[in-house]
Amino acid sequence: MLNRTSESLETTLTLRDGEDNVLTWSAEIPAQGVRKFELTPEDTAALKPEELRMMITGMVSQYGRPLVIKEFPNGAVSAMHC
């Protein structure tokens, strides 16, 4: 996450599966700063991987720039800029 504002922001990443199991991670992102949420399969083992939804709260959307990178077991990489 890239915080392009002039304020420090508490940002939370929430993952939810199709059965509404939820995991959350939070980080303080300083003004003009960057923080990375790195999630491994071990971090998300409590969720059903077939259907995951991601939500980011605490970041002003027009100034925050999330980039999502998914690495697959076969070595392929998928990237999405939100």
DSSP three-state, residue 3: strand
Q: What is the pLDDT of residues 7-65, one digit of tens each?
A: 998 999 899 999 999 999 999 999 999 888 888 889 989 999 888 888 888 877 665 66
pLDDT of residue 75: 84
Residue with tokens 């992102």: 29
3-class DSSP state of 33: coil
Q: Indicate the domain borders of the chain.
A: 9-81
DSSP category for residue 64: B
The pLDDT assigned to 37 comes to 87
Which residues make Cβ contacts (< 8 Å) with residue 36, sequence separation at least 6? 1
